[in-house]
């Protein structure tokens, strides 16, 4: 099982473009997942094996039950963890990029 936290280096590109266009992010339907104590175990359509989310990625996954723009997601997580939004935005963007690559999340207008 592949662990994925929220400590990935920032990436530019698709997520930044999406933020500019004001699109919203949401969990994709065909993702099988379970909550497991302090983790979320999920099997996205494009993943060959299950992966685990931990730390703030779990909170992000829970929030992504509802469509929301990147900025709102970042703001909520920042408040939850008592940090400045700009400190975590690159990590959140990286997480969304990875989850979208695996078809675990999708964008909607």
Partner 1 sequence: MTATDEDLGVAVATWGLPGAAVPFPSAPLPDERWQALSAAVRKARISGLFAGAVAGGAMPVTPAQRQDVAALHAQAMAVTVVLDRLLIELSTRLGDAEVDHRVLKGAAVAHTTYPDPSWRQYGDVDLLVPSAHYDRALAVLAAAGCERSRPQLRPGFDRRFGKGTTLRSADGHWVDVHRTLVMGPFGLSIRTDDLFTDATPFTVAGHTVQGLGRDLRFLHACYNAALGDTHPRLLALRDIAEMVLHDAVDTEAALSLAAAWEGRVVVARAVQLTWERLRIADRVPLSEWAGRYRPSRSEARALLRHLGAGRRYARTALASLRAISGLRAKAGYLYALALPSRAFLDERDLGPVQWLRKGRDSVLRNGASR
Residues near partner 1, by CB under 8 A: 1, 29-39, 41-43, 49-50, 52
What is the chain's length?
109
Within a 10 A sphere around the Cβ of 40, how many other Cβ atoms?
Answer: 20
- Least gap, CB of 38 to partner 1 (angstroms): 6
User: Residue 68 in 3-state DSSP?
Assistant: strand
**Of 42 and 60, CB closest to partner 1:** 42
Distance between CA atoms of residues 78 and 62, nearest Å: 15
Nearer to partner 1, 40 or 88 (CB): 40
User: Residue 57 CB, nearest distance to partner 1 (Å)?
Assistant: 14
| Residue for token pair 């990875």 | 98
Nearest C-alpha neighbor of 102 from the set 43, 59, 56, 54? 43
Residue 64 CB, shortest distance to partner 1, in Å, is 14
* CB nearer partner 1, residue 20 or residue 49: 49
81 vs 46: CA distance, rounded Å: 30
Residue 37 vs 84, nearer CB to partner 1: 37
Query: CB 75 → partner 1: shortest distance, Å?
Result: 27
């Amino acid at each position: 099982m592949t662990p994925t936290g929220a400590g990935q280096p920032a990436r530019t590109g698709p997520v930044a473009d999406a933020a500019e266009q004001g699109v919203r992010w949401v969990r994709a339907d065909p993702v099988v997942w379970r909550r497991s104590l302090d983790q979320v175990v999920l099997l996205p359509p494009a993943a060959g094996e299950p992966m685990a989310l931990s730390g703030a990625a779990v909170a992000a996954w829970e929030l992504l039950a509802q469509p929301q723009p990147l900025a709102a997601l970042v703001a909520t997580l920042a408040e939850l963890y008592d940090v400045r939004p700009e400190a975590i935005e690159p990590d959140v963007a990286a997480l969304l990029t990875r989850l979208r690559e695996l078809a675990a999340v999708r964008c909607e207008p």
